[in-house]
């Protein structure tokens, strides 16, 4: 023990600077512990961010006219009033009249022009706005401003001087295809699983009591029983790195009165009043003309869907015309009539289209919506 006592006596005493350093370290530890506790309490007291639902329902509205087809949807852009726009599975991006956007839109000096196969040409500027869907259950909106086209004029292509334009009550077009454009599908900019895809439920000819709507956000429950076909990849990336698909790439075949089918990449398009295609038996003199009333038109994606309709002259109901593959991405067009018989799914994650029921449909007598 004498050695230990000697060691204690001989150990040098800590200097004042060392003691100050130790004290400062202790105080720092206490302060950091206090800050950590405060931060934990603050996080507990702060309101939590709402969790996006897995799926939601957005009502569809009847388009102008007496066709009875529900391919319009209400949107609010930049805090503006509800505006009725065409729901268009054949184009990409929200393109909305300048007078329909609200004060929270951020306008840029970037000029934009976008055209359609119909001949309509939209001119305006790039803007950024939060886009919401009034009437959705539960509430649905983008979390942050997204790119939109603020439309200042609607004109016609020189080669189509009698283009349809927009009806006075039409405030725009919401293209929900997945083309590789900066002004992208707004449904793909929704939070969480809501961006995974959507289902157009407008099949009032097959289900007369249906309430037309969109299901946004795909789940195992709402996608059960769909027969599917793949989209081809887009030919270039989307500028913001979002997943893009060529939704005009579905291999479909069209025939008239049981004749030889014409098969080509096809878009299933809520925005087209006519189906359009040609077959090996189509004469040059028939191109650009209506398929005769009473002819039996069959649309088929082999192994996936098959629809037979007696052709008539009513757009959105039973009208078809002969036309070669056309559009910025060449192809045939199903016409909106297919959506009146099938629930049609667009899967943004897997890059697929789906049809329900997964069995052939035959329209023995096309009803009129007034009936």
**pLDDT range class, residue 85, cuts 50, 70, 90:** very high
Q: pLDDT at position 51, please? A: 82
Across 50-64, 94-108, 355-369, least confident range: 355-369
Neighbours of 214 (CB within 10 A): 22
- Give CATH for domain 56-218: 2.40.70.10
Q: pLDDT at position 11, please? A: 41
**pLDDT range class, residue 49, cuts 50, 70, 90:** low
Q: pLDDT at position 327, please? A: 85
Give CA–CA dist 109/191, Å, rounded. 28
Mean pLDDT in residue range 240-257: 97
Where along the chain do its domains lie? Answer: 56-218, 250-362
Could you report the per-residue pLDDT of 185-226, keeping only the tens digit for each? 999 999 999 999 999 999 999 999 999 999 999 999 999 999
Which backbone phi and psi does 31 adopt, to 5 degrees?
-65, -45
pTM (two decimals): 0.85
Q: pLDDT at position 46, please? A: 45
Give CA–CA dist 203/269, Å, rounded. 14
Q: pLDDT at position 359, please? A: 84
Distances (CA, A) of 16 to 21, 25, 26: 9, 14, 16
Please say whether the dihedral angle defined by the alpha carbons of residues 304, 265, 154 and 178, taken in this order, is positive or negative: positive
> Which residues pair with residue 20 across a beta bridge?
none
Please say whether the dihedral angle defined by the alpha carbons of residues 356, 87, 129 and 110, taken in this order, is positive or negative: positive
Could you report the per-residue pLDDT of 91-120, keeping only the tens digit for each? 999 999 999 999 999 999 999 999 998 999
**pLDDT range class, residue 60, cuts 50, 70, 90:** very high
Could you report the per-residue pLDDT of 261-288, keeping only the tens digit for each? 999 999 999 999 999 999 999 999 999 9
Q: Are 188 and 255 in contact (CB under 8 A)?
A: no
| Residue 25 pLDDT greater than 80, yes or no | no
Give CA–CA dist 244/251, Å, rounded. 18
Q: pLDDT at position 48, please? A: 55
Q: pLDDT at position 52, please? A: 83
Q: pLDDT at position 244, please? A: 98
- DSSP code, position 264: E
Q: pLDDT at position 351, please? A: 98
Across 34-43, 203-212, 300-309, 322-331, least confident range: 34-43
Could you report the per-residue pLDDT of 31-47, keeping only the tens digit for each? 444 444 444 444 444 44
Q: pLDDT at position 19, please? A: 42
**pLDDT range class, residue 363, cuts 50, 70, 90:** confident
Mean residue pLDDT of the chain comes to 89
Mean pLDDT in residue range 298-304: 98
| Residue 30 pLDDT greater than 50, yes or no | no
Secondary structure (3-state) at 337: helix
Could you report the per-residue pLDDT of 127-150, keeping only the tens digit for each? 999 999 999 999 999 999 999 999
| Residue 366 pLDDT greater than 60, yes or no | no
Q: pLDDT at position 362, please? A: 85
Higher pLDDT, 70 or 30: 70
């Amino acid at each position: 023990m004498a050695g230990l006592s000697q060691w204690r006596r001989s150990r040098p005493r800590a200097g004042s600077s060392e003691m100050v350093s130790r004290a400062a370290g202790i105080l720092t530890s206490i302060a950091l512990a206090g800050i950590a506790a405060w931060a934990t309490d603050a996080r507990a007291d702060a309101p939590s961010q709402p969790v996006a639902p897995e799926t939601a329902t957005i009502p569809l509205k009847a388009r102008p006219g007496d066709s009875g087809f529900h391919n319009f949807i209400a949107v609010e852009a930049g805090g503006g009033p509800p505006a009725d726009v065409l729901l268009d599975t054949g184009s990409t991006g929200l393109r909305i009249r300048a007078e329909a956007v609200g004060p929270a839109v951020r306008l840029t000096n970037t000029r934009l022009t976008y055209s359609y196969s119909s001949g309509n040409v939209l001119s305006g500027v790039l803007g950024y706005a939060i886009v919401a869907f009034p009437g959705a259950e539960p509430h649905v909106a983008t979390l942050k401003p997204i790119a939109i086209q603020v439309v200042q004029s609607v004109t016609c292509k020189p080669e189509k001087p009698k283009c349809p334009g927009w009806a006075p009550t039409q405030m725009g077009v919401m293209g929900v295809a997945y083309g590789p454009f900066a002004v992208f599908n707004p449904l793909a900019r929704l939070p969480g699983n809501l961006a995974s895809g959507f289902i157009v439920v407008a099949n009032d000819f097959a289900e007369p009591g249906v309430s037309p709507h969109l299901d946004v956000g795909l789940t195992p429950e709402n996608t059960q029983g769909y027969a599917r076909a793949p989209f081809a990849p887009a030919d270039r990336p989307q500028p913001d790195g979002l997943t893009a698909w060529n939704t005009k790439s579905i291999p479909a075949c069209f025939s008239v009165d049981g004749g030889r089918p014409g098969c080509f990449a096809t878009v299933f398009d809520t925005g087209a009043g006519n189906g359009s295609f040609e077959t090996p038996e189509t004469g040059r003199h028939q191109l650009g003309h209506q398929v005769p009333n009473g002819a039996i038109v069959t649309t088929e994606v082999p192994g996936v869907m098959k629809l037979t309709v007696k052709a008539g002259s009513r757009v959105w109901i039973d009208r078809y015309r002969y036309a070669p593959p056309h559009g910025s991405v060449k192809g045939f067009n199903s016409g909106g009539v297919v959506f009146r018989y099938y629930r049609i799914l667009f899967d943004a994650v897997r890059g697929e289209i789906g049809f329900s029921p997964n069995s052939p449909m035959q329209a023995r007598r096309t009803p009129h919506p007034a009936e």
